[in-house]
Amino acid sequence: MREDVWAERAKGLLKAELKRRNVGYRELAEKLSAQGTPETERNLANKISRGGFTAAFLIQCLEAIGCSSLRLAD
């Protein structure tokens, strides 16, 4: 797969987990800041919409929202 396809998939996974837990970007920013990773709501929206974030960022977000497992396929 091309790099942009992987980025879209990562973006979709993160957005789905946020939606499942009813967590918006503002709340995610607060949770990340509490973990020591300061992010603004606007910065998160931009970063996630681009989909070009690191695996470390994805894991930080998942941990912040209480996601302990991730399903990659249905």
Instruction: State pLDDT tens for residues 29-40.
Output: 999 999 999 999
pLDDT at residue 65 is higher than 80 = yes
pTM: 0.89
Q: 74 pLDDT band (50/70/90 cuts)?
A: low
Give the separation between CA 14 and CA 21, rounded to whole angstroms.
11
Domain boundaries, the chain: 3-64
What is the Cα–Cα distance from 7 to 60, expressed in whole angstroms?
17
46-73 burial by CB neighbour count: b if 16+ within 10 A, else e?
A: ebbeebebeeebbebbbebbebeeeeee
